[in-house]
Amino acid sequence: MASTETLPATRRQADRRNYALVTLAYWADTLTDGAIRMLVLFYFYQLGYTPFQVASLFLFYEVFGIITNLFGGYLGARFGLKTTLFMGLGTQLVALSLLAFAPPSLLVVPYVMVAQALSGIAKDLTKMSSKSAVKLVASESQGQLYRWVSVLTGSKNAIKGLGFFAGALLLTVVGFQNALMILGALVLAALTSSMILIKGDLGTANKKARFTHMFSHNRAVNLLAAARIFLFAARDVWFVVGLPVFFVSVLGWDFWLAGGFMAAWTIGYGFVQASTPGLIRRRVEGAHEPDGRTAMALAFGLAAFPAGIALALMNGVAPVLAVVGGLLAFGVVFALNSAVHSYLILAYTDSDKVAMNVGFYYMANAMGRLAGTVLSGLLYQIGLRYGESGGLVLCLWASMAFLLVAGAISLALPTQMAPRTRPIVVSDMGE
Instruction: Dump pLDDT digits (tens) for 372-409.
Output: 988 999 999 999 988 888 999 999 999 999 999 999 99
Q: What is the pLDDT of residue 343?
A: 75
Give this prediction's pTM.
0.72
**What average pLDDT score do residues 175-198 get?**
91
CA distance 102 to 196: 30
Closest CA to 98 of 185, 187, 181: 181
Instruction: Dump pLDDT digits (tens) for 302-324.
Output: 999 999 999 999 998 999 999 98
Percent of the chain beyond pLDDT 90?
28
Q: To 5 degrees, how large is the angle CA 245–CA 324–CA 262? A: 55
Closest CA to 93 of 179, 184, 22: 184
Q: What is the pLDDT of residue 286?
A: 46
CA distance 358 to 348: 10
Q: Which residues in 145-211 belong to E strands, given as ranges? A: none
The residues spanned by each domain of the chain are 14-199+218-417
Q: Residue 60: how many CA atoms within 13 Å on its side-chain side?
A: 14
Q: What would the 3-class secondary structure string for 168-185 be?
A: HHHHHHCCHHHHHHHHHH
Total Cβ atoms within 10 A of residue 249:
15
Q: Is residue 430 pLDDT above 50, yes or no?
A: no
Mean pLDDT of all residues belonging to the chain = 79
Instruction: Dump pLDDT digits (tens) for 339-366.
Output: 788 778 777 765 545 555 566 676 788 7
CA distance 73 to 84: 9
CATH number for the region 14-199+218-417 comes to 1.20.1250.20
Label residue 255 by pLDDT band (50, 70, 90). Answer: confident
CA distance 103 to 122: 23
CA distance 115 to 117: 5
Q: What is the pLDDT of residue 424?
A: 28
The DSSP 8-state label assigned to residue 204 in this structure reads -
The b/e string for 127-160 (b: 16+ C-beta within 10 A; e otherwise) is bbbbbbbbbbbbeeeeeebbbbbbbbbbbbbbbb
